[in-house]
Amino acid sequence: MALGLQEHQGRVIEAPGRPATFDTYNQDLINGIVQNYADPAYHCAVHLVPDRAGSLFPIVVVPGGHRVPVRARRSGPHGNIVEQNTIYIRKPGPRSEAPQNSQEWDGLLARCLSNRRDEMFDQIRDLIVGAVPQAAPQAAPARLDQWSESSLARWRSLVAPLPPTAGPRCPHGYYWFSYEIDGERRSMRSAELPELLRASVVRHTGWPPFWYPTRSGIEPYPIDGLVECWLGRDPETPLEDQDAAHSDFWRISPEGLAFLLRGYQEDGMEMQTGGRPAIEPGTVFDITLPVWRAGEAMLHAARLAQNLIVGPANITFVAHFQGLAGRALTSVSRTRYVHENRIARQDSITLRTRVAAASIDTNLPEVIRPLLEPLYGLFDFFELPMELVTTELGRMRAGQF
């Protein structure tokens, strides 16, 4: 769609009222208008293209392939052009107007259903062949690495005053997830960010990643333009009763960066297991928990991308596990058989992947298994079975914890 042109006597000429400059005719402006008037919103590309005389004209590329009809969420200025809650189709003329009969409605819905069918077939095909749509490689991960390092330094400054054995210090080890979302961020005020983060929490287990508490003393707070939360400062729980697995530290930037650090759940289990003594902290590594935790964090990244980004988004995801040396791979719940002598000698590992955000929900096992395979390989070359990943992610999403 070209702006600033009109048809006159069979020729396309410049329309009157041409502005002196096109500095404001950019994607932010156009997509802001789309966001205000279209439901669901979609992402347009804008190009300034010169004609033969060298005059510039904005070209707006409107995407197709919508799975649902797009309605006008509000009326145009002074009631012109579009009316609220109206769906428009293109007709010969050319003109745009609402469907007037069953045939026009049938044609519109058929196109939407066809687009949805094609997408569904692509997803089924990917699942059958085990493929995951890959995002374009990132030129340099420096921004995400700097974010991860600064977040880790911030956590260390918070726990520094605590006794060395305090649970929130994760004395036996910890893991962290860090990710960056690439895409066209929707415009919003800083006051809107808390509600967006609450809406992005994925609740499949009793302790979801990036949980947004509201209780005084542990509620998230703004700092340096970010939203930060540290559950290790809970004033209502004595320090000796706080364990590493429930002392989350997380921070999220409106620029599309997120970081979560948590201690190992295995290190706080005081129960008797199969008649054995209570689990000694720092000695075991559960075979299923990393799959659950990485799956939850990846789904959170996809949800945050959906709420924060207009149009397609890519996610660079990093997982780091610290304090592995000397731990034995085991099944704490005794639901899976694991050879008792699979011991890790390496103390830490950093894992990285980059995927299209839209592929995560339907292809979660295919995303998680290659990400975590090197971690499991540290335990005497243990090969992570696809069956385990698929089954455990299914249990996680069904809330069977």
Query: For 247-290, what is each residue's pLDDT tens digit?
Result: 999 999 999 999 999 999 999 875 444 444 478 899 999 999 99
Question: What pTM was computed for the model?
Answer: 0.68
Which amino acid is it at 392? E
pLDDT on residue 205: 81
Which tokens in the block code for residue 362? 């339907």
Query: For 85-139, what is each residue's pLDDT tens digit?
Result: 788 777 776 677 888 888 877 877 787 777 666 556 555 655 555 566 656 555 5
User: For residue 382, what are the CA distances in angstroms to 194, 266, 292, 331, 338?
Assistant: 41, 19, 18, 14, 10
Place of tokens 């789309």: 34
Rg over CA atoms, the chain: 26
Query: For 361-389, what is each residue's pLDDT tens digit?
Result: 999 999 999 999 999 999 999 999 999 99
Q: Which DSSP helix (H) or strand (E) runs through 128?
A: helix 102-129
Strands (E), 114-237: 174-185, 221-223, 226-230
Contact 321, 365 (CB under 8 A): no
Residue 246 pLDDT exceeds 70 = yes
Contact 284, 332 (CB under 8 A): yes
Say how far apart CA 226 and CA 201 lie, in whole Å. 17
Query: For 173-206, what is each residue's pLDDT tens digit?
Result: 999 999 999 999 988 888 899 999 999 999 888 8
Domain spans of the chain, in order of start: 142-397
**For a pLDDT cut of 70, what percent of the chain falls above it?**
82
User: For residue 57, what are the CA distances in angstroms to 47, 94, 281?
Assistant: 8, 20, 67
Closest CA to 150 of 72, 11, 290, 253: 253
Residue 237 pLDDT exceeds 90 = no
Contact 183, 316 (CB under 8 A): no
